Structure 1
Amino acid sequence: MEPGIVIEGSSWFDLAPRGGGAPYRVLLALPRQPAPPAGFPVLYLLDANASFATLVEAQRRGAERPAGTGIGPMVLVGIGHAAEGLYDRGRRTFDYTAGPSREAGAGTRSAEARATGGRDGFLTFLRDEVQPAIAARAPVDAGRQVLVGHSLAGGFVLDVFGRDSAAFAAYVAISPSIWWDEARLTDGLARLDGTPRLSVVVGEWEQELAPWLRGQPGAAEIAERRGRRAMVSRAEAFVAQARAALGEAGRVDFECLAGEDHASVVAPALTRALRFATAG
Structure 2
Amino acid sequence: MSQLPSNSTATPPVPVTLAGATYVDLKFDNADQPHRILIYRPDKQPPPEGWPILYLTDGNACFATAVDALKVQSSYPNGTNVQEGVIVAIGYPTDGPYDPLRRSWDLSPPPGQVYPPFYPDTPDVRTGGGAGFLKLIEDELKPWIEQQLPIDRSRQTLFGHSFGGLFTLYALFAKPTAFNRWISASPSIYWENGNILAQEKEFLASLDAPLDIEFHLSAGEYEGEKLAPFHKGTADEQKRQQGAKETRTIELAQEMAQRWAALALFTGMVTFEEYAGENHMSLLPVALNRAVQIAFRRAK
**TM-score relative to the length of structure 1:** 0.90
1:251-266 alignment runs, 5 A limit: 251-266=269-284
CA separation in 1, counterparts of 2:256 and 2:164? 16
CA separation in 2, counterparts of 1:205 and 1:55? 23
Return the structure number with greater helix share: 1
Q: Is the 8 A contact 1:127 1:167 kept in 2?
A: yes
CA separation in 1, counterparts of 2:212 and 2:185? 20
CA separation in 2, counterparts of 1:146 and 1:154? 13
1:222 aligns with 2:240: yes
In the superposition, relative to structure 1, how do residues 53 and 151 fare at CA in structure 2: closer, same or farther (>3 Å)?
Answer: same
CA separation in 1, counterparts of 2:144 and 2:167? 21
- CA apart distance, 1:108: 8.2
Gaps of 5+ in 1: none
1:129 aligns with 2:147: no
Q: Is the 8 A contact 2:221 2:278 kept in 1?
A: yes
- CA apart distance, 1:183: 2.5
- Partner of 1:184 in structure 2? 198
More deviation in 178-187 or 232-241? 178-187
**Cα distance per residue 1:31-70 (max 9 Å; x no partner):** 1232111001000000011121101001001111112212
Gaps of 5+ in 2: 1-13
Identity %: 33
CA separation in 1, counterparts of 2:117 and 2:217? 26
- CA apart distance, 1:190: 3.1
1:205 aligns with 2:222: yes
How many residue pairs match? The answer is: 273
In the superposition, relative to structure 1, how do residues 21 and 243 fare at CA in structure 2: closer, same or farther (>3 Å)?
Answer: same
CA separation in 1, counterparts of 2:188 and 2:57? 14
1:242 aligns with 2:257: no
**Cα distance per residue 1:234-268 (max 9 Å; x no partner):** 00011111223364621112110111111111111
Q: Is the 8 A contact 1:45 1:78 kept in 2?
A: yes
- Partner of 2:112 in structure 1? 100
1:107-118 alignment runs, 5 A limit: 110=118, 114-118=125-129
**Cα distance per residue 1:155-209 (max 9 Å; x no partner):** 1101111221011111100111111124234323334573221111211111131
The root-mean-square deviation of aligned C-alpha atoms, in Å, is 2.3
CA separation in 2, counterparts of 1:42 and 1:31? 11
2:148 aligns to what SS in structure 1?
A: coil
- CA apart distance, 1:110: 5.0
